[in-house]
């Protein structure tokens, strides 16, 4: 019920958060604590209420302290509350100031990366850290320090052991690259990172279809971070080794995206000038037609989604170009050439407005 805006506003107006604070402080029941913090997470999803809750200093400070709890269900709800707070422009500065006054917060996140064996906790911590880094570049400097960076890499390794996606891991690494000194520190960990990059590339090749549209940004982060490190001055030529199966996986993805883009250009109506994009245009949808098992399927995507696929393809092609400087075997070079040939020339594309 607290996920309903009217209910959430009623709870907030009735000073229920103050009652919840008393429960959080006094209760010995992990499940009651989880429920109460979960309700606060639901309430925090609404902008005005999020700011009001964030201004409750006692509640805010105790939520931060709870990042040190060993109870997984409660910890996941704590992450939700903080994520809402730092993602909200009206409340994020309140949270950042609270982080400064409570250094235990970042240490707790670091401890989770170093020690957690549970994917849900690692994933939640990565998502929270990614949001914090995106909203406040100051923390990119902190998390680029050797001990913090090693904690992130340890969590990435653990995710791989659990056979889980590395999407959130690479989103964090990509954001850390915004702070140039971090690139050198990442390069010092190349032996560990190269293994994680290859695992991510291979996983793309194992999928029967393209990555889900919700993963496009994460896949881009992986390739973009890889390119950033390869083009830095901190890696020696002999350090960069790429397995042929990884190149085949890259090629499969690049060709599939190329086919997707070509399909969309073929089956749409009105003209959009890609070289001179309009600003503040209405939300338009592009039509895609697929033949599967003798049946024709029509799906839609927004212009923004189409642009995301185009950028991802361009990034994979850029990766192939960069790798030609590190690869000598003819078979590998031929695969890289095939990837580079998947480039789609920019031209006008039709739009079906619905």
Give residue-wise pLDDT tens across range 181-218. Answer: 999 999 999 999 999 999 999 998 777 678 888 899 99
What is the band of 343 on the pLDDT scale with cuts at 50, 70, 90? confident
Of 69-83, 146-160, 290-304, give the lowest mean pLDDT range: 290-304
- 228 in Cβ contact with 183 (< 8 Å): yes
Higher-pLDDT residue of 280 and 80 is: 80
What is d(CA 52, CA 13) in angstroms, rounded to the nearest whole number?
A: 10
Please report the pLDDT score of residue 263 as a whole number. 82
What is the per-residue burial (b if ≥16 Cβ within 10 Å, else e) of 209-245? ebbeeebbebbbbbbbbbbbbbeeeebeeeebebeee
Residue with tokens 């960076």: 149
Longest Cα pair distance anywhere in the chain, in angstroms? Answer: 72
- The CA-CA-CA angle for residues 306, 312, 314, to 5°, reads 105
d(CA 36, CA 23): 8
Q: Which residue has the tokens 């078979």?
A: 331
At 41-100, the pLDDT tens digits run 999 999 989 999 999 999 999 999 999 999 999 999 999 999 999 999 999 999 999 999
Per-residue confidence (pLDDT) for residue 282, from 0 to 100 = 47
Q: Has residue 346 got a pLDDT over 70?
A: no
Q: Tell me the pLDDT band of 295, cut-offs 50, 70 and 90.
A: confident
> Are 17 and 10 a contacting pair, CB within 8 Å?
no
Q: Note the pLDDT of residue 352.
A: 42
Distance of CA 28 to the CA centre of its chain: 35
Residue 37 has a pLDDT of 98
Judged against a pLDDT cut of 80, whether residue 272 lies above it is answered with no
Angle between the 104-115 and 146-161 helix axes, to the nearest 10 degrees?
Answer: 40
pLDDT in tens, 10-47: 999 999 999 999 999 999 999 999 999 999 999 999 99
pLDDT for residue 1: 60
285 pLDDT above the threshold of 80: no
What phi and psi values does residue 296 have, to the nearest 5 degrees?
Answer: -95, 130
Q: Is 343 helix (H, G, I), strand (E, B) or coil?
A: coil
Between the alpha carbon of residue 215 and those of residues 3, 23, 167, 168, 199, the distances in Å are: 26, 38, 7, 10, 16
> Cβ distance 286 to 300 under 8 Å?
yes
Q: State which H helix or E strand residue 69 sits in.
A: none
- Between residues 287 and 256, the one the model is more confident about: 256
Q: Is the pLDDT of residue 270 over 50?
A: no
In this structure, of 139-148, 263-272, 295-304, the range with the lowest mean pLDDT score is 263-272
The Cα–Cα gap between 130 and 85 comes to 14
> What are residue 297's DSSP bridge partners?
290
270 contact partners, CB below 8 Å, separation of at least 6? 350, 351, 352, 353
Q: What is the pLDDT of residue 155?
A: 98
Q: How far apart are CA 197 and CA 127, in angstroms?
A: 19
How much is the pLDDT for 303?
A: 81
Residues 43, 12 contacting (CB under 8 angstroms) = yes
Q: How confident is the model at residue 353, as a pLDDT?
A: 39
**If pLDDT is split at 50, 70 and 90, which confidence band does 306 have?**
confident
DSSP letter assigned to residue 235: S
* Structure-token pair, residue 204: 């793309």
Task: Note the pLDDT of residue 294.
Answer: 75
pLDDT of residue 262: 85
Q: What is the DSSP letter of 178?
A: T
Average pLDDT along the chain: 90
């Amino acid at each position: 019920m607290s996920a309903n805006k009217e209910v959430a506003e009623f709870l907030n107006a009735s000073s229920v958060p103050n009652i919840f604070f008393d429960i959080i402080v006094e209760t010995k029941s992990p499940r009651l604590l989880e429920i109460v913090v979960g309700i606060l997470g639901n309430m925090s999803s609404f902008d005005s209420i999020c700011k009001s809750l964030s201004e409750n200093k006692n509640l805010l400070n105790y939520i931060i302290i709870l990042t040190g709890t060993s109870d997984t269900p409660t910890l996941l709800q704590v992450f939700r509350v903080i994520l809402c707070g730092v993602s909200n422009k009206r409340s994020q500065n309140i949270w950042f100031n609270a982080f400064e006054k409570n250094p235990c917060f970042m240490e707790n996140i670091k401890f989770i990366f170093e020690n957690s064996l549970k994917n849900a906790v690692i994933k939640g911590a990565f998502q929270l850290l990614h949001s914090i880094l995106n909203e406040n570049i100051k923390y990119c400097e902190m998390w680029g320090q050797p001990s913090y960076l090693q904690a992130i890499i340890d969590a990435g390794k653990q995710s791989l052991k659990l056979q889980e996606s590395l999407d959130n891991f690479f989103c964090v690494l990509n954001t850390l690259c915004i702070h140039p000194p971090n690139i050198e520190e990442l390069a010092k960990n190349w032996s560990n990172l190269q293994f994680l990059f290859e695992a991510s590339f291979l996983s793309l090749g194992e999928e029967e279809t393209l990555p889900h549209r919700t993963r496009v940004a994460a896949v881009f982060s992986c390739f973009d971070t890889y390119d950033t490190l390869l083009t830095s001055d901190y890696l020696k030529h002999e350090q960069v080794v790429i397995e042929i199966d990884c190149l085949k996986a890259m090629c499969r993805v690049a060709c599939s995206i190329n086919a997707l883009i070509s399909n969309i250009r073929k089956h749409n109506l009105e003209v959009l000038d890609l070289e001179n994009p309009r600003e503040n245009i209405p939300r338009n949808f592009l039509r895609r037609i697929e033949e599967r098992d003798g049946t024709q399927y029509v799906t839609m995507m927004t212009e923004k989604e189409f642009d995301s696929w185009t950028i991802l393809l361009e990034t994979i092609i850029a990766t192939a170009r960069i790798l030609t400087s590190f690869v000598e075997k003819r078979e590998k070079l031929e695969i890289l050439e095939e990837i580079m040939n998947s480039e789609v020339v920019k031209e006008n594309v039709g739009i079906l407005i619905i």
